[in-house]
Every structure is written in structure tokens, then in C-alpha cells.
């Protein structure tokens, strides 16, 4: 007889889902589920899904198809779907995939123990209600995954911006900030367990703390976190350009522990498209913030997100996005072809550009960025960077770490360097990585 029940968990999408999955693992452990990497060995299969673009959503249905055949050989297998697709589809998911036992939304993970226990007794259940207060953060046990070197800490969830293309406000609900005292308490515990770097996580971290009279704003929270002994490096993601205050910009020159990197999605370089996207800033305003950031912190690395082929984007508007790249000098860029999402404002807009044209624009944009990333990586050769060593590289034959600017770096050295920030001379700049030598 098997000792332990087994969970196979697959996570799609963003860091928030990765963070939620850590909680899922802890909760399932609490009711006797260990982990397996093989879905055929599983008693419980959970998918934590993403619906940001149609492709991500299709992958979920593709995976479910695979699990259906496993279930036909093991009828006792419990299959649950959570995350953004679950939130959006709810009941429809059970109709499309009748072999699914459980559907849990983005605010319902705390119900998962009783949902799975119910499923063991043959119940089917859907829970997709939103919890629109801070209670949402208090419903979880502390996650007990191995601490490691670098960890994400949720500071807020949800988004109130309603960019016209974006499903996030629909599937993640309204913005809620977590209390600063609880965030600091969690980070103290992580530091005590050996964590060196924390990334403060939220859909829109810059609007952290709004509404709570006794609570700090985001710059105030950064200062509190910077006081935690043992934490040597702080990052945050994601920032909305319209909420990036001057006070936050100055944190980059005032808080030593704040890493010189910011992810600041522009989405487009055209004012007309930015307006149609409901982004709340112009190209000039975006560039002003970039200039301020560079002034406050000359070595700052800026990364971003771009959507190409938004309805109404013509060649001239796209050309403005290309010149934005030149003006910002992104270290890296995540770029996507626009994907209409059901229920969003932009899904109603007329869109006459052929998909092939959009794909070509994406290729042009990505080629351009690839050249500047390589140029940047090469320009770092000869410089000394402070690298936080995360552990062995994926190939296992050297160490992997990140510079303050978030460039992945390979270096030779003792495994005991893991968790330490050390000076490294960069000797080679490749397309996606740097190579460096530890300075003694
Ligand atoms: N289509 C394409 N890309 C999208 N993103 C968000 N919604 C869409 C969409 N409907 C991109 C944005 C965002 C990133 C997380 O995903 O660039 O910043
Ligand atoms: Fe989506 Fe805009 Fe919110 Fe980002 S800020 S999650 S793009 S609605």
C-alpha cells in the first residue's frame, strides 16, 4: 500500500501564481499529500492556470486533455483547476471538462483542504467568490517550502487600473494591500531562515497602502523592509508607470539595499495607442520617469513589456514603439502580440490588422531588442558587479547569480558562496547571460 497520497501540481503564468502554488503545496501537505513530478503517479492533479493571453488559456485545455486519459485508467484520481482560467470560466470549465472535480478561483485557495477532502468522498465543487478585504491574506498557513536564497513576498494583490486589454482586474479582483507589520514579520522569518533577497510582489506595487490611514505607502514599506537584518537586497515588481512617484524614484538613490533594476512596462510608444489602452500616461510622461530614474541611479537597468498589434496600431504607431526602445535603452523586454480577452473593453474594438503583420512587427521588435541586450551585456565586460549567488547553475558545473541590475551571471566558485553578495569581474557578455570571475 502507498505510504502517502501524491499531488502533481502544474503552475502556469506569472509570479503571483508561483507564489500561490507554494501555498497550495503547504495546504495539501497538511492533509497528507506529498509531491510527485509524474502525473501518472498522482492521486490529485492540480493546475494553477493563467488567462493573460489566449495561448496561455489554450495550454490549460491541452493539459487537461492529457489528464483525462490518465483519469480513464485511474477513476479515483482527483483533478482540480485553480487560478485565472478557473476564476473566469467557473461552471463553464466543468461543462467543457466534465472529468474535473474541483474549480477554485484566485481568492479561494484557503478552501482547498476541505474541497479536496470532499472530493475524496466523491463531491464536486466550485468556489470562485472574491474576498475583497485584507482577510484574503490571513487565510493561509505559513508556507514551509525550503527558504532558499531569494524569495517573493506578496505585498498587495489585484488591480484597479482596468487597462483596456487586460484580464487581470477581472480575474484577480480589486487592489488589496497587506498590512506592513505582517509583511515585515514574514521577511524577518525568511531572513532568519537564510534568505538574502526578497522581491516584493503585487500586480501594481506602486499603489501599495492606499486607503489605510496608519499604513505606510510603498516607499515607506521599502524603508521598513530595508531595516531587516540579513536581507541584503530588495527588488519589487510590477510597477505601473503612472503610479511611479518621484518619492519612489528617489528610493533608488537613498536605499542601498534596493537593487538597481526596475520593471516598468510601457506597452506602447504611441500616445494614441496608450490612450486606447487606458494606460493613464503619455510617452513623454513615461520618458520623464525613465530620465528621473537614470538621474537617481545611473547604473539602473530598466526592463519592460510591450504589446504589439493593439487594435488601431498602424505602422506609424508601431514605429513610435521602436523609437521608444532607443530612447529608454531597455536591458530586456517581454513582448507579445495583442490577444483579445473576453470581457475586456478592447475586445470590442475593431481590429483590421492581419495577424501575420502583427507577428512580423513582433519579430522586428524582438530582433531590435536582442541586439541592444547583447550590446549591453558586452558593455559590462570589465566592470565589477555585485552578484548575489543563488546556487549551482542549471548545468551544475558552475555557480549562477544575478547582478544588482538583474543580469544572470555564471561564475566559478565554492557552493558555500550561495546566498552571498560578492564582487565579480565580468569577463564575457553573451545574449542571455554574463560570465564573471570572483574577485578575491
Ligand atoms: N494581450 C497581449 N499581451 C497582454 N498582456 C496583458 N494583457 C495582454 C493581452 N490581452 C501583457 C502586458 C502585461 C504582461 C504581463 O502581459 O504586456 O504587462
Ligand atoms: Fe493589467 Fe494594467 Fe493592471 Fe497591469 S496595470 S495588471 S496591465 S490592468
* Ligand 1 centroid to residue 88 C-alpha, Å: 16
204-213, 407-416, 430-439: least confidently modelled range? 204-213
**Ligand 1 binding pocket, CB closer than 6 Å:** 52-53, 165-166, 265, 267, 305, 307, 336, 338-339, 341
pLDDT number for residue 4 = 87
The mean of the pLDDT values for the chain is: 94
Assess whether pLDDT exceeds 80 at residue 2.
Answer: no
What's the rounded Cα separation, in Å, for the pair 377 and 428? 8
Give a yes or no: residue 15 inside a domain. yes
What's the rounded Cα separation, in Å, for the pair 149 and 390? 6
* Ligand 1 centroid to residue 171 C-alpha, Å: 14
Looking at the DSSP bridge assignments, the partners of residue 151 are 198
Residue 205, phi-psi category: left (phi > 0), alpha (psi -120 to 50), beta (remainder): alpha
CATH code for the domain in which residue 57 is found: 3.40.50.12160
122-136, 339-353, 361-375: least confidently modelled range? 122-136
Q: What is the pLDDT of residues 265-300, one digit of tens each?
A: 999 999 999 999 999 999 999 999 999 999 999 999
- Residue 379: strand, helix, or coil: helix
* Residue that terminates a domain, selected from 333, 363, 379: 379
CATH code for the domain in which residue 277 is found: 3.30.750.200
Q: Tell whether 297 is in a known binding site.
A: no
CATH code for the domain in which residue 247 is found: 3.30.750.210
Query: What percent of the chain stands above pLDDT 90?
Result: 90
Assess whether pLDDT exceeds 60 at residue 100.
Answer: yes
Assess whether pLDDT exceeds 80 at residue 252.
Answer: yes
pLDDT number for residue 1 = 52
Give a yes or no: residue 104 inside a domain. yes
Give a yes or no: residue 205 inside a domain. yes
Nearest ligand to the C-alpha atom of residue 343:
1
Give a yes or no: residue 139 inside a domain. no
Contact 188, 143 (CB under 8 A): no
* Residue that terminates a domain, selected from 379, 406, 430: 379
Sequence-distant (≥ 6) Cβ neighbours of residue 209 within 8 angstroms: 177, 180, 215, 216, 217, 218, 220, 221
Beta strands 384-392; 399-403: pairing state:
antiparallel
Both 255 and 318 in a single domain? no
Both 154 and 248 in a single domain? yes
Both 373 and 392 in a single domain? no
Both 156 and 192 in a single domain? yes
Assess whether pLDDT exceeds 90 at residue 21.
Answer: yes
Sequence-distant (≥ 6) Cβ neighbours of residue 409 within 8 angstroms: 385, 387, 400, 401, 402, 403, 424, 426, 433, 434, 435, 436
Both 244 and 280 in a single domain? no
Both 367 and 393 in a single domain? no
Query: What domain range includes position 345?
Result: 267-379
Both 348 and 417 in a single domain? no
The mean pLDDT value for 353-358 works out to: 98
Both 375 and 389 in a single domain? no
Cα 338 to Cα 54, 173, 289, 304, 325: the distances in Å are: 10, 22, 25, 15, 18
Phi (first) and psi of residue 232, to 5 degrees: -105, -20
Concatenating the DSSP letter of every residue in 195-252 gives: --EEEEE-TTGGGTTTT-TTS--HHHHHHHHHTSTT--EEEEE---GGG--HHHHHHH
Best CA proximity match to 51, nearest among 105, 99, 101, 102: 105
Q: Tell whether 84 is in a known binding site.
A: yes
What's the rounded Cα separation, in Å, for the pair 103 and 86? 6
Contact 12, 18 (CB under 8 A): no
Looking at the structure of the chain, the number of domains it has is 4
pLDDT number for residue 137 = 79
Both 391 and 280 in a single domain? no
* Residue that terminates a domain, selected from 200, 232, 259: 259
Give a yes or no: residue 132 inside a domain. no
Q: What is the pLDDT of residues 37-88, one digit of tens each?
A: 999 999 999 999 999 999 998 999 999 999 999 999 999 999 999 999 999 9
Give a yes or no: residue 311 inside a domain. yes
Assess whether pLDDT exceeds 70 at residue 211.
Answer: no
- Angle at which helices 355-379 and 315-328 pack, to 10 degrees? 10
Both 174 and 154 in a single domain? yes
412 band by pLDDT with thresholds 50, 70 and 90: very high
pLDDT number for residue 144 = 62
Q: Tell whether 163 is in a known binding site.
A: yes
CA 428 to chain centroid, in Å, comes to: 28
The mean pLDDT value for 371-375 works out to: 98
Give a yes or no: residue 135 inside a domain. no
Entry pTM = 0.94
Q: What residue owns the CA closest to ligand 1's atom 9?
A: 339
For a mutational test of ligand 2's pocket, the pick from 14, 15, 156, 159, i.e. the residue with the most ligand atoms closer than 8 A to its C-beta, is 159
Both 12 and 103 in a single domain? yes
For Cα atoms 277, 172, 240, give the angle at the middle one, nearest 5 degrees.
45
pLDDT number for residue 145 = 62
* Ligand 2 centroid to residue 13 C-alpha, Å: 14
* Cis peptide bond prior to 238, omega within 30° of 0: yes
Radius of gyration of the chain (CA): 23
Give a yes or no: residue 137 inside a domain. no
Both 227 and 302 in a single domain? no
Amino acid at each position: 500500500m502507498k505510504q502517502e497520497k501524491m499531488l502533481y501540481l502544474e503552475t502556469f503564468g506569472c509570479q503571483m501564481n508561483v507564489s500561490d502554488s507554494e501555498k497550495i503545496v503547504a495546504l495539501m501537505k497538511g492533509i497528507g499529500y506529498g509531491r510527485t513530478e509524474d502525473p501518472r503517479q498522482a492521486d490529485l492533479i492540480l493546475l494553477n492556470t493563467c488567462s493573460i493571453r489566449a495561448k496561455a488559456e489554450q495550454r490549460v485545455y491541452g493539459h487537461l486533455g492529457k489528464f483525462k486519459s490518465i483519469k480513464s485508467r485511474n477513476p479515483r484520481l482527483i483533478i482540480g483547476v485553480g487560478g485565472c482560467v478557473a476564476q473566469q470560466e467557473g461552471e463553464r470549465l466543468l461543462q467543457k471538462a466534465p472529468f474535473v472535480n474541483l474549480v477554485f478561483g484566485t481568492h479561494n485557495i484557503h478552501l482547498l483542504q476541505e474541497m479536496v477532502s470532499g472530493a475524496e468522498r466523491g463531491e464536486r465543487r466550485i468556489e470562485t467568490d472574491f474576498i475583497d478585504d485584507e482577510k484574503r491574506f490571513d487565510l493561509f498557513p505559513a508556507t514551509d517550502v525550503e527558504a532558499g536564497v531569494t524569495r517573493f513576498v506578496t505585498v498587495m494583490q489585484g488591480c484597479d487600473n482596468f487597462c483596456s486589454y487586460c484580464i487581470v482586474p477581472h480575474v484577480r479582483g480589486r487592489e488589496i494591500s497587506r498590512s506592513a507589520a505582517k509583511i515585515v514579520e514574514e521577511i524577518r522569518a525568511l531572513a532568519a531562515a537564510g534568505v538574502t533577497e526578497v522581491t516584493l510582489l503585487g500586480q501594481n506595487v506602486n499603489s501599495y497602502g492606499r486607503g489605510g490611514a496608519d499604513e505606510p505607502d510603498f516607499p515607506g514599506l521599502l524603508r521598513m523592509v530595508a531595516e531587516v537584518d540579513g536581507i541584503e537586497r530588495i527588488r519589487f515588481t510590477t510597477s505601473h508607470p503612472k503610479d511611479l512617484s518621484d518619492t519612489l524614484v528617489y528610493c533608488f538613490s537613498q536605499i542601498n539595499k534596493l537593487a538597481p533594476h526596475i520593471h516598468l512596462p510601457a506597452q506602447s510608444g504611441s500616445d494614441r495607442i496608450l490612450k486606447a489602452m487606458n494606460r493613464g500616461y503619455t510617452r513623454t510622461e513615461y520618458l520623464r520617469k525613465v530620465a528621473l530614474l537614470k538621474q537617481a541611479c545611473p547604473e539602473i537597468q530598466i526592463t519592460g513589456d510591450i504589446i504589439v498589434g493593439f487594435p488601431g496600431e498602424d505602422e506609424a504607431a508601431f514605429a513610435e514603439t521602436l523609437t521608444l526602445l532607443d530612447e529608454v535603452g531597455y536591458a530586456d523586454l517581454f513582448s507579445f502580440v495583442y490577444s483579445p480577452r473576453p470581457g475586456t473593453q478592447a475586445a470590442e474594438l475593431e481590429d483590421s490588422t492581419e495577424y501575420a503583420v502583427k507577428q512580423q512587427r513582433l519579430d522586428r521588435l524582438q530582433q531590435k531588442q536582442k541586439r541592444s541586450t547583447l550590446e549591453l551585456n558586452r558593455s559590462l565586460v570589465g566592470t565589477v558587479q555585485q552578484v548575489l549567488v543563488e546556487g549551482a547553475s542549471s548545468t551544475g558545473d558552475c555557480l549562477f547569480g544575478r547582478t544588482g541590475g538583474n543580469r544572470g551571471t555564471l561564475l566559478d566558485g565554492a557552493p558555500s558562496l550561495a546566498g552571498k553578495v560578492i564582487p565579480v569581474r565580468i569577463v564575457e557578455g553573451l545574449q542571455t547571460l554574463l560570465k564573471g570571475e570572483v574577485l578575491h
